[in-house]
Structure 1
Amino acid sequence: MKKIRWWTWTLTDWMLHAMSGVIRRANKRGLKAFCAAKNRLRLLRFAEAFEAPECGGELSEKQRKQLRGLGLFGEGEPCDWPGIACRDCKVISIHSSEATGHLKHLEDLRDVEFLDLSGSQVQGTVADLLQLTDLNSLYLYQTQLSGNVAELSKLISLESLHLSDTRVSGDVAELSNLTRLKVLRLYRTQVSGNVSELSKLKSLRILDLYQNELWGNVEDLSRLKGLQNLDLSDTRISGDVAKLSQLTDLNSLYLYQTQLSGNVAELSKLKNLESLHLSDTRVSGDVAELSNLTRLKVLRLYRTQVSGNVSELSKLKSLRILDLYQNELWGNVEDLSRLKGLQNLDLSDTRISGDVAKLSQLTDLNSLYLYQTQLSGNVAELSKLKSLESLHLSDTRVSGDVAELSNLTRLKVLRLYRTQVSGNVSELSKLKSLRILYLYQNELSGNVEDLSKLKGLQYLDLSETQVSGNVAELKTSTRLHKLSLAHTQVHGDVGFIAQIPDLVEARFSNAVSGKLEDLEGCCRHLRELHLGVPALILCSKSARVSCTPAANSLNRLNHFCSEETQVRTSEECQDLGHRSSLLLEGKEVVASEALGCPEEAQQKLRGQLQGLGIGEGQQQDPCRWMGIDCNRCEVRSIESDQATGHLSSVKEMTKLDRLILRGQVRGNIAELSKLKLWILDLAHTRVVGDLTELSKLKGLEVLDLSQSQVVGNVSALCNLTKLTRLHLSQTQIVGELGEVSKLKELGNLDLSQTRVAGDVGELSKLRKLTDLQLSQTKVHGDITVITSMPYVIKVDLSGTAVSGDLTNVKRGCLNLRELRLGDTQVWISPGAHASHLSKQTIWLPALQSLNVSGCNLNVSFMDMFGALVQNPISSILAAGCSLTGNVHFEAPGSKPLLSSLAAVRSLRKSLECGVCLSCEPAAGC
């Protein structure tokens, strides 16, 4: 066939660009692996119909070296590698999520036009990209990229730029000269500035900058007439939303948690809108004005100032998500039953009314939230909603037998407290997926023992019901965080809670019994324990609580209430610091007198917590909010996965010792420096600050700031000698491992994807380690250091300069199940297999997963795997490690080699075996 180079490679370029677009879109739907494989196969088969030019020699070897520097590997010529496309033997397109190297190796790949390494572990700065002057598509989101985006203004050919979830910073206005840009996505980065300058980018179709320090008037963006998707949520953008009514091509508009105002009625001109999210803004107007947006699939306007009758929204036949809670809305819920495609419905805290049974026609519903409404009707009809995962109808007038819901087997959340439901809760034991069950203050009966079958239950509240049974049977519910059975008819020994490691709050009453001494050494996270009488044995000698056994046994207990029983503290408690709060601090007092908080104290607490973005609109005592634990009106523990406020709100909570927040919370960790925290977990948040601000928190036992924006040297933490868990992965911290070795109590250490350096041998002193994660750091040293960690279960040193002979890792490590050493410098001595067989030793006897991909082992298959004959191995990754010889699944005179592997269907067979790649056990090579 005659070679037609210009046609072949232009077409290939087009195909790979199209394929990458398909893969990225599929990734959003959770189908990346499937679509990537399927489309790659189709496109490459089509491309094979044309004869490509042959590329070889020095040029090919040079490209191979550069691509390997990016952490990319393949067989044959680089232009034939997966995800690589060439024109005239020059790489013009790179697409891979497996890159583990550095962007500096792009220096000589100057012809690249399309670069997508998103979701990989590649590192580098924006400056490493400046030589790619022909680049038109750049996708590096969810990588370790850093640097100033202003430098990208030199890449004037760019049409698509997606650097979200990276550490890039700078003024977003500096990109205003990239006039060819059609796609600009920089959400969850450190960019800042006035977005008004971006109005110069007339070609923009997608602008996605949410969760950044941005400001400006939304009116300026109304000049971008071609915009289709706009997301500036969680920024300081302001202005009148009505000005956007000129953007008639918009199909997605997300501006929630901004300073936006204006009347939503003007948006009714946006006939192409499919998604509208303006929640937590000051927009107003009649929601019925949006009823002509017939393409809408998502409508979220919760916590705004909109009002009106929701019945008009029944015209929006395409709606999948309708979320309007906490607004001045009314109407009959029956009208919404016409929206047959609804999947999520939330009209909570509105004046919506009607019969809930009418919603039984919405068979696609998986989330139904209508609490604090004027709803009534029988819940039995909802048993037809087989897809339901969350049901919250609390504080309504709904009624019926709760047992009728027992066929909703997908339910994870069931909240029906303070309603008129009744029946036997035992039937709910069929709901194996339940995580949250709140049915308190209802006419319910049944045996609590039946609920012990719900192994995944985390929150259970049946207070003020008629349930009975032996509470001790709940000992199998080991995932419980909160358990409330106050004012019920349960009985039994409360000592079972010692077997529930993560329990934070427990409330009992009536005929429970037991000894506090039985809880010694357990209940590490317990904050509140409420025990009612009569038949309660508090201690073996007295009905009064003395601190001598109890305070030492329950050293994390903050609030103890024993109704109708006097509580006092003996003198021995005075030197126990915060532990003495177990017993109301030395006073002889009837505990029930101290249970309620005065209204003034409640208002103060409510303001502080709402400053964190927690409990917006709630009026009840903040100490009873989910995730909030108090002692005598002082907050001791805060746990929320939806915090949206600022850390400064907690700086006056001087009794706080447990803070766990997720979501969009922001602020500087310096705000916490005066607290006496022992658990601080702000992972995946937007908090900033230097680690030195935490050096005074001498009582810290758990610190997790992973994927936050903190900086500093890890040495600042070396005096926090009580730390048992330290997670700082994917941050900008630096420092030496030698400083970390001073933290002798550490059991869990994760510094992966940071700039921490040093000899891994320094960690030999950390003998309590069970989990060690140092991947993609600058550490080095000998792998045999892990033999000094007798309890270690997981080790990840991939992408580091760690070296050494793997066959020497044999003493100790009896519990090691997972070992990741991809792209390190470890090796295996030839003849290792024969050595282990002759000595009849089992190398790493508990090992289940091994990754040595990219390691230059240069040994035979038998040397690599022969020593694993008797291991429970289920996953091996060994691509690109220069294995030689044939794959043999039978070892002479012994049992089948790796028989456990052959039996595991999910085994990732990525073995590079010299003459044969990825052989089936029965096939032979």
Structure 2
Amino acid sequence: MGLDEFKRLEKLEFLDLSGNQLSGSLSFKELKLENLKVLNLEYTNFNKLSDVEALTSLKALSLNDIGINDSSVLQGICSLKNLHELDLSRNNFYGPVPMCFRNLTSLRLLDLSNNILSGNIPAALITPLVHLEYLSLSGNLFGGSFSFSSLGNHSKLQGFKLGPLNNDSHVDTEDLALPPPFQLKALYLSGCNLNNQTRKIPSFLLYQKEMQNLDLSSNKLVGQIPTWLLQNNTNLEVLVLKDNSFTGPFLVDDSLGKYLRQLDISNNDVSGKVPQNIGLSFSSLQWLNLSGNSFEANIPQSLGNLTWAESIDLSHNTFSGEVLTYAICKLSDLEFLDLSKNQLIGPLPACSELTSLKFIHLHHNMISGPISNMLSGSFNLMTLDLGYNKLSGGIPPLKTCCGTNQLILPIAGNLGFFESDYSSCSQINREPLAEMVGAEQDPQCRHVNHFSEAHGNRPVKIIPTQVKFMEILQTANSCPKTKFIVRFSYSNKNVIFTTKSRSERYAGNILNFMSGLDLSCNQLIGAIPPEFGDLRHIRALNLSHNYLQGSIPSRLSMLNLVESLDLSYNNFSGEIPSELASLNFLSIFNVSYNNLSGRVPDTGEFATFDDSNYRGNPGLCGPLLKRSCNPFAPHPENVGDQDIEVDGAIDVAAFYWSFFASYMVIVISFVVILCVSPYYRRAWSFYIDYWILSRFYEYCGSRSSEKKQTWKVFNWNMRRR
């Protein structure tokens, strides 16, 4: 690029080119900016910077996220002895850090994070930089060991960031003289194999009074979470202790934590009850994560006081009792709620204030009853996971702003889940699907027996036409996408969703592009509402393993983006609509084990499917199935759901009938022989008499000589007759 105009600005002291699409090479010697003190090039695209040493007056340099990998730049920076701030983060610098950096003794800020720097942790480089206030070495490939004694003279240090390290590396904090010379405000030591001999929380933290951000996650630390962390640091805003081995109870002081915005102690072994006053003590909490522990008893009602809460994750514990009743309805800013894999019971509360809610995960509990109006105000819902509960009834109409988001709706393993006129048929008791069509062959549906475990009678439901109002399943470019600015909240959460015959986890930003509807493995009956064709932006539709019937709606051809369409193991009849051949993105199509007939489409994506997609439909024909479609040959009669046959399966009813018929033929033949032949009739009579006499002598203790005499008399009478 041409920057000749800068040559005339010899007295320029401040230059900010950040956020522009500038690219190519840049020579500072040609620009003659000897008086420049501040240079900001972050978020540009320069691939080469030369003659950096020409900026002799430079005090602040930011090359954050420009993607440069020219390590010669680092050597040039070593000549800038007046530098106070140096930000080289989010680039591709590789190899060891040049030891000449130790000559930059005026540095107050040094950020080398998120590069490909390797070698041992540069302790010898850090020791002379005693004026450092902030030092970040995280997100690199450093190895070896690091001792906090290297920071023994850094009295101005306020922020330190390191890790994660490989398994052979570690950080030792216990050789630092106490009390330490610094008062930290931010400390990030995630994944640093901290104090690998004792696995204890660093002792010097006991002397820190100004801490605002503390992250000691993924260090296998043991013991109880110390209460003095909050008692000593009353201004603490972020406390992350996840992925360790902490045990014991979690104690909270009423007078502490009023500034705490994020608390994450997930994936430990903390036990006991969650303090009932947690919502009062931490009233400023925005992100709360207690998942993956051994908490028990009821969820505290004081969570209703977390009026600023955006994310609450209490999953993978042993919480019992009802689902927060109406306390959660007060949290109008709540965006993420995960109470999955607990032992929660009772109905869902009816809420209309949860207008910000985007993610609801309540699966694997014992929640019962209808969904009621809990979601009536959820305009931005993206994922709703209610699987493996005892829910029943219907899904209320869900509203959204122009359909800005997509909904992933896994509800498998519940009881029908859709209200209809059949909801009062308490005596309906159909056999489990696995017994009907051998669904045990399908690992995706092995949980179908969960129906019988939940209730003795399994109500049969139909799909309501209200699904057409679920505009959350649609997208519109006219509405702006929601931007997430949460640091440690739900950005790493995932949803398990089955598509293309595979169950995958979807997490992060991919949820903005994945939408689908999974109603498989329930007991839904009736027809597919034609309104399903209005869900034009879903990528997966799974209605398999139900009792659905009727014809396949031709309006499904309007699902222009669908990639996976599974209608297998139902009772659909009629022909496969030829209009479906227009689905250009369809890669998985399965209608096996239905009652379909007629010609199979063989154009478009349908030309890539084989006979396994149509198995169990004897009425289908066409070149793909190598079965002639003779118009004069009658199609096989459609059979009901009781006559479905699976290849290789035994017809139990036919087996019992044939066995009974064979048995009756033998009995009748024996009776006829006795009636026709007097000889065999007398022989049968004498054998019966002998058997009775033998039993009599046996039980009455008679001698064997009497038995022999009886047998002689029997044989003499037979010969005489």
TM-score using structure 1 length: 0.48
1:194 aligns with 2:96: yes
| In 2: Cα distance, 1:167 partner to 1:391 partner | 36
| In 1: Cα distance, 2:541 partner to 2:206 partner | 49
**1:778-789 correspondence to structure 2 within 5 Å:** none
What is aligned with 2:302? Answer: 381
Q: Bigger relative contact order, structure 1 or 2, given CA contacts below 8 A and separation 6+?
A: 2
Q: Label 1:474 to 1:408 Cα distance change in 2 as closer, same or farther (>3 A).
A: closer
Shift of 1:248: 4.0
| DSSP-derived class of the 2:248 partner | strand
Shift of 1:421: 3.1
What is aligned with 1:245? Answer: 151
| In 2: Cα distance, 1:580 partner to 1:336 partner | 65
Deviations 1:217-256, CA, capped at 9 Å, x for gaps: 3223322222111112211123323244334432111223
- Of the three residues 334, 337, 353, the one matched with 2:251 is 334
Contact 1:333/1:353 (CA < 8 Å) preserved in 2? yes
- Of the three residues 342, 354, 364, the one matched with 2:284 is 364
| DSSP-derived class of the 1:506 partner | strand
Q: Greater CA deviation, 528-537 or 232-241?
A: 528-537
What is aligned with 2:464? Answer: 493
Residue type at the aligned position of 1:229: Y
**1:504-543 correspondence to structure 2 within 5 Å:** 504-508=515-519, 509-511=522-524, 513-515=526-528, 519-520=532-533, 522-527=535-540, 529-535=542-548, 537=550, 539=552, 543=571
| In 1: Cα distance, 2:529 partner to 2:357 partner | 30
Contact 1:217/1:239 (CA < 8 Å) preserved in 2? yes
Shift of 1:419: 2.0
| In 2: Cα distance, 1:271 partner to 1:255 partner | 17
| DSSP-derived class of the 2:263 partner | strand
| DSSP-derived class of the 2:135 partner | strand
Q: Label 1:427 to 1:518 Cα distance change in 2 as closer, same or farther (>3 A).
A: closer
What is aligned with 2:124? Answer: 220
Q: Label 1:195 to 1:380 Cα distance change in 2 as closer, same or farther (>3 A).
A: same
**1:555-634 correspondence to structure 2 within 5 Å:** 556=585, 572=600, 585=613, 587-588=615-616
| DSSP-derived class of the 1:383 partner | helix
What is aligned with 2:220? Answer: 305
| In 2: Cα distance, 1:518 partner to 1:458 partner | 21
Q: Label 1:554 to 1:367 Cα distance change in 2 as closer, same or farther (>3 A).
A: farther
1:453 aligns with 2:377: yes
1:134 aligns with 2:34: yes
Shift of 1:578: 9.1
> Which structure 2 residue ranges, 5 or more long, are not aligned?
420-462, 476-513, 555-569, 618-721
Q: Label 1:540 to 1:340 Cα distance change in 2 as closer, same or farther (>3 A).
A: closer
1:408 aligns with 2:331: yes
Shift of 1:195: 1.3
Q: Label 1:582 to 1:433 Cα distance change in 2 as closer, same or farther (>3 A).
A: farther
Shift of 1:322: 0.9
**1:27-42 correspondence to structure 2 within 5 Å:** none
| DSSP-derived class of the 2:517 partner | strand
Shift of 1:298: 0.9
What is aligned with 1:325? Answer: 242
Contact 1:513/1:536 (CA < 8 Å) preserved in 2? yes
**1:472-483 correspondence to structure 2 within 5 Å:** 473-474=397-398, 478=403, 479-483=405-409
1:417 aligns with 2:340: yes
| In 1: Cα distance, 2:231 partner to 2:57 partner | 44
- Structure possessing the higher radius of gyration over alpha carbons: 2
| In 2: Cα distance, 1:217 partner to 1:504 partner | 46
What is aligned with 2:164? Answer: 257
Contact 2:571/2:595 (CA < 8 Å) preserved in 1? no
| DSSP-derived class of the 1:253 partner | strand
What is aligned with 1:314? Answer: 230
Deviations 1:835-872, CA, capped at 9 Å, x for gaps: xxxxxxxxxxxxxxxxxxxxxxxxxxxxxxxxxxxxxx
Deviations 1:533-565, CA, capped at 9 Å, x for gaps: 235556269824876558547665666789x96
Q: Label 1:134 to 1:472 Cα distance change in 2 as closer, same or farther (>3 A).
A: same
| DSSP-derived class of the 1:217 partner | coil
1:441 aligns with 2:454: no
What is aligned with 2:182? Answer: 271
Contact 2:379/2:399 (CA < 8 Å) preserved in 1? no
What is aligned with 2:437? Answer: none
Residue type at the aligned position of 1:384: N
Deviations 1:735-767, CA, capped at 9 Å, x for gaps: xxxxxxxxxxxxxxxxxxxxxxxxxxxxxxxxx
Shift of 1:530: 4.1
Shift of 1:336: 6.5
Shift of 1:514: 4.1
Q: Label 1:579 to 1:321 Cα distance change in 2 as closer, same or farther (>3 A).
A: farther
| In 1: Cα distance, 2:616 partner to 2:206 partner | 64
| In 2: Cα distance, 1:528 partner to 1:120 partner | 43
What is aligned with 2:53? Answer: 153
Shift of 1:329: 1.3
Structural RMSD (CA): 3.7
What is aligned with 1:665? Answer: none
> Which structure 1 residue ranges, 5 or more long, are not aligned?
1-100, 590-925
What is aligned with 1:234? Answer: 139
Contact 1:276/1:298 (CA < 8 Å) preserved in 2? yes
| DSSP-derived class of the 1:276 partner | strand
Residue type at the aligned position of 2:295: L
Contact 1:414/1:436 (CA < 8 Å) preserved in 2? yes
| In 1: Cα distance, 2:302 partner to 2:607 partner | 50
| In 2: Cα distance, 1:144 partner to 1:174 partner | 20
Q: Greater CA deviation, 418-427 or 400-409?
A: 418-427
Shift of 1:349: 0.9
Aligned length, in residue pairs: 488
1:182 aligns with 2:84: yes
Residue type at the aligned position of 2:224: N
Shift of 1:512: 6.2
Deviations 1:370-413, CA, capped at 9 Å, x for gaps: 01111123332211121111100012122334332111111111
Q: Label 1:125 to 1:185 Cα distance change in 2 as closer, same or farther (>3 A).
A: same
Shift of 1:150: 4.6
Q: Label 1:160 to 1:517 Cα distance change in 2 as closer, same or farther (>3 A).
A: same
TM-score using structure 2 length: 0.60
Residue identity (%): 22
| In 1: Cα distance, 2:247 partner to 2:586 partner | 45
